[in-house]
Structure 1
Amino acid sequence: MRKKKIWIVIFVCLFVFTSYVRPVDAGRYYYSGKLKGGVSGRTWAIAQNTYNLYGRTVNYYDAALNAIYNWNSINPTTTSNVDVSFSHTSNFSSATLKFVIDVQEDVFWDGAAAYFDSNNNPMNPYSDLGDWSSAVICFNAYYTNLPECTSSMLKALAGHEIGHTFGLDDVTLTSDRYKLMWYETGPYRASGITTDEINWIRIIYSN
């Protein structure tokens, strides 16, 4: 799948950087950072519900909502009964997870995530120490509005990028291609949360 609009330069740079395929250390599928304050009792918002391109109107709100529903009620720790819980808010600026739709035709990603500290400064999950306070997830309509991007694939893409904002890295081994965190959009990637994602989340949020 495939990419254009105006965003702050550092934002776009982060998108491009985090979309590169990177070998994952054996047995390690997570960043050094995670979502500050945990993944319970948080909010999400979307800048616009639909986007029209190529004569198609794609419902991005439902893709984000379904992905959020998949993540909600998963217990992220081994020491607490509190599940992942994100509720929708119309207050976009205050949301922990923010979804936007953009058109980036000169890049190769169909979805990406950017991370920000409490002062709204961008963070790089590979090199910056510490946890991020919020994240922005971008759907690249240049690819995701194409007919071959099915609703199931769009839901999987949203769930995959949410996983990144929680602290999960891509998986790139062929044996992992049926997991949600598989790095490529396509028919292999799971549209729901697998036991591996749950186990990795528990490693992150139990520490």
Structure 2
Amino acid sequence: MLDFPRWKQLWFWAITLVACLAALPSIFSVAGLPWPAMLPAPKVNLGLDLAGGSHILLEANTAQVAGQRLETMADEVRNALKRASKPVQVGDISIQGGKVSFMVQDPSQVDAAREAVLPLTNGAGLSGKRDWSIDIVNGNTVVLTQSPEGLDNAVVQAMDTATEVVRRRIDALGTREPTIIRQGANRIVVQVPGLKDPTALKNLLGQTAKLEFKMVDTTAS
């Protein structure tokens, strides 16, 4: 028969007691039993599967991000042309087909117009590639087209901001252990244990950080 030193026996029973105490909150919750008043309040936070709650999958409208970038670029082009050392006279600045374009009234100023807007086409991400291309069409029309890399980078930034805003709004509810994670390029999974009304969660989120979201029906085939 094995004879363990007394200190090992005490250590074994101490670990067993701690493990049992840690499991008590889950046992009482699952069994539906009231928590004994003599014991401290439970600290174990149940997940969505045990505590119940709300689960929402948000999908970002990336087309809105592209549209906002086009509008912002049009405003920046207008201001850049006005600030040029020698103002460039142009016609209306238009947005069409994912591009920003304008016609230079004096063809001799096309190069000056291009130089004025070039700083706006800054590099995208770690690659340093420009997130807008500049083309001259018909000799006097400047066309700026947003690159796929630039748009992807803008979506990532918008999603990072939106995720943080969603997290702050959920934290304001005072719920324990919410799950807020990115899924793919344009989705956010939100799980809030203990929040029984998903409509309240939808109303809380609404439009986030200028990035429109739609609720995704995860039950659809």
Q: TM-score, length-normalised on structure 1?
A: 0.25
Quick check: which one's helix share is greater?
Answer: 2
Answer 1 or 2: higher relative contact order, Cα 8 Å, separation at least 6: 1
Q: TM-score, length-normalised on structure 2?
A: 0.23
